[in-house]
Structure 1
Amino acid sequence: MNGNDFFRPLWLRVGIVLACFGWAVLELVNGQTGWAMLAGAVGAYGVWSFLIAYEPPSKE
């Protein structure tokens, strides 16, 4: 991350990830598997970057 405080709240990071996976489900229900895979991949990257590897910016 670039040290931005915008992504500090956990609820916001979880919400972004859920929105991506929700969009993937919506696309899958509508038969758009390519867009569903793309949104699912963005959601998976969000899980990694926002939930697993996230380090809050230091207080400087």
Structure 2
Amino acid sequence: MKKFLDTDHPWFRPLWMRILFTAIPAGWGVLEFATGSPFWGTIFLGLAAYAAYGFFFDFNPDRAKQPPPDEPPQP
């Protein structure tokens, strides 16, 4: 079964990428609250909290999957 947010993907190894994918939904949630949409604000802030937990508390860079080695094309 696939996870909702695959924190083991090698794309998320750089710290700046994890910060970006946490800050975007957090900012959008704040924007939704500021414009008077508390339902969507709660959804996006919940997503940001889920991402923050997965990327900063449960993240292990050694566990991240390594990309497969380049293989020559098969004839």
Which TM-score band (shorter chain)? 0.7 to 0.9
Cα distance in 2 for residues equivalent to 1:4 and 1:47: 16
Larger Rg: 1 or 2?
2
Instruction: Give unmatched runs, 5+ long, in structure 1.
Output: none
CA–CA separation in structure 2 for the residues paired with 1:51 and 1:2 = 10
Show the counterpart of 2:39.
34
- After TM superposition, give the deviation of residue 58 of structure 1 in Å: 6.0
Matched, 1:15 2:17: no
**Separation (CA, whole Å) in 1 of partners of 2:45 and 2:28:** 8
Q: Give the 3 Å change call, closer, same or farther, for CA 48–17 of structure 1 in structure 2.
A: same
Q: How big is the alpha-carbon RMSD for the aligned residues of Structure 1 and Structure 2?
A: 1.9
Please give the alpha-carbon distance, in whole angstroms, between the structure 1 residues aligned to 2:58 and 2:31: 27
**1:31 partner SS:** coil
Structure 2 gaps, min length 5: 1-5, 67-75
When normalised by structure 2's length, the TM-score is 0.71
TM-score, structure 1 as length reference: 0.87
Aligned to 1:6: 11
Runs of 4+ in 1 over 2 A off after TM superposition: none
